[in-house]
Amino acid sequence: MSTAGSKGKGQGAKGKRLKAAPQQSRVRTVKEIAAIAKVSVATVSRALQRPEIVSEATRLRIHEVVKRLGYTPNALARNLRTARTRLIVALLPDIANPFFSEVIRGIEQVAYENGYSVLLGETQSSLVREQAYADMVAARQADGIITMSHRVPAIPIDGRLPVVNACEYVKDSEISSVYIDNVAAAGVAVDYLIMLGHRDIAFIAGPPSSPICVDREQGYQLALQRAKIRANPALTTVGDFSIEAGERAIELLLSQGQSFSAVFCSNDEMAIGAMRALSSHGLRVPEDISVVGFDDIRFARYTSPPLTTVAQPKNALGREAMTMMIELLNDPEVPPRKRVLSADLVVRGSTAARASKRG
């Protein structure tokens, strides 16, 4: 069932080496433009940077030449001089993760609107790679870093670190962060399950190294307390945010003979895994077990049943992070901020009132 596979062929047809066609169009420099337009390089630069301070006649002349020769100023030279690259590193563990890819989209949008570009910093959770990207800032190849992990990369420069934290947050009060109130959001989700009559609510946590996971767990605990439900520690398991982790968590609970009528998961992937594992054990969602996820990734509404989940404002998180970054770069004196966006519970088909009788 494999559909062929061929190597590229060797030498191209006319593989002679045409030595860059004698086409008159080499790479241009200000100097050439200046010479042709009969002005100094300074004037060319000014005509391009701040046209209003150049007389109309010269300006038009220069622009004509620039256009005719297709001149584009060398960004490297400019950046070296101005000490700004207009590049921002977006540091994230995994670009294929649907949550992060939505966030990065928000980042990209605001970046584009402001003349910045985004450098992809996929770390695969490796500290080495994280550091490698942080070093790009030190090497002045990027102006700042938006990190989606809970670590603040060490950048050996002094003064204000050009770092903004998104989704996750760090204790460091010098670092601006955007995130949601995970304790509250998780609480809302669990409140809802309780309202549906569930009392034995399992929790699939994320890696405890990340503060947001701790918060979500705390939200879960607090919600139970509010409802005067004694939390059963055996109902809490830890996963790594993968679909498989969700499956394993359910397998574990079932194999231990735990009794529960609902599961709250720290992210949607684990919820999807959980739903799969449940149905493969003949348990129906939501009739037998209700499932709630977290994030509201693109596919959450297309699972069957559609997943009830806490919707993070993914795009807004990204947009806001980039906005803060630009603010910070424009004025290193602006005080760091911790910005909290709101998250909403989206009720879909994976949750239902607790069945009158059942484990």
Partner DNA sequence: CAATTTCATGTAATCCATTACATTGCATTG
Partner DNA sequence: CAATGCAATGTAATGGATTACATGAAATTG
How many whole angstroms separate alpha carbon 271 and alpha carbon 172? 32
Nearest distance from C-beta of residue 143 to DNA, angstroms: 14
Q: Which position among 37, 39, 61, 108 is part of the footprint of its own copies (CB under 8 A)?
A: 108
Tokens representing residue 141 in the block: 């190849």
Which residues, other chains included, contact 206 with Cβ-Cβ below 8 Å and sequence gap of 6+?
Answer: 212, 213, 216, 238, 239, 240, 241, 266, 267, 270
Q: Which position among 52, 233, 257, 302 is part of the footprint of its own copies (CB under 8 A)?
A: 302
Q: Which position among 93, 197, 336, 349 is part of the footprint of its own copies (CB under 8 A)?
A: 336
Q: Which position among 9, 19, 81, 230 is part of the footprint of DNA (CB under 7 A)?
A: 81
The burial class, CB within 10 Å (0-12 / 13-18 / 19+), for 24 is exposed
Task: Quickly tell me which residue has 């999807």 as its tokens.
Answer: 272
Nearer to DNA, 31 or 226 (CB): 31
Nearer to its own copies, 6 or 255 (CB): 6
Task: Quickly tell me which residue has 């985004």 as its tokens.
Answer: 118
Calculated CA dihedral for residues 110, 116, 117, 120, nearest 10 degrees = -70
Applying CB under 8 A, the site for its own copies has a residue count of 94
Among residues 100, 154, 104, 101, which one has the least CA distance to residue 127? Answer: 154
Nearer to DNA, 80 or 353 (CB): 80
Q: Which position among 48, 188, 254, 283 is part of the footprint of its own copies (CB under 8 A)?
A: 188
Among residues 344, 258, 255, 242, which one has the least CA distance to residue 295? Answer: 344
Cα 71–chain centre separation: 36
| Contact partner at residue 298 from DNA, its own copies, none, CB < 5 to 8 Å by partner kind | its own copies
Tokens representing residue 102 in the block: 């939505």
DSSP letter at 12 equals: -
Opening angle at CA 323, ends 128 and 209, nearest 5: 40
Nearer to DNA, 31 or 68 (CB): 31
| Contact partner at residue 345 from its own copies, DNA, none, CB < 5 to 8 Å by partner kind | its own copies
Nearest distance from C-beta of residue 40 to DNA, angstroms: 3
Task: Quickly tell me which residue has 């903004």 as its tokens.
Answer: 164
Q: Which position among 152, 229, 283, 340 is part of the footprint of its own copies (CB under 8 A)?
A: 340
Task: Quickly tell me which residue has 């004698």 as its tokens.
Answer: 22
| Contact partner at residue 90 from its own copies, DNA, none, CB < 5 to 8 Å by partner kind | its own copies
Residues between 38 and 67 that touch its own copies (CB under 8 A): none
| Contact partner at residue 128 from its own copies, DNA, none, CB < 5 to 8 Å by partner kind | none
70 in contact with its own copies (CB under 8 A): yes
How many whole angstroms separate alpha carbon 30 and alpha carbon 36? 10
Residues between 17 and 56 that touch DNA (CB under 7 A): 27-31, 38-43, 45-46, 48-49, 53-55
Tokens representing residue 281 in the block: 């054990």
**Which residues of this protein are in contact with DNA, per CB under 7 A?**
27-31, 38-43, 45-46, 48-49, 53-55, 57-59, 71, 73-74, 77-78, 80-83
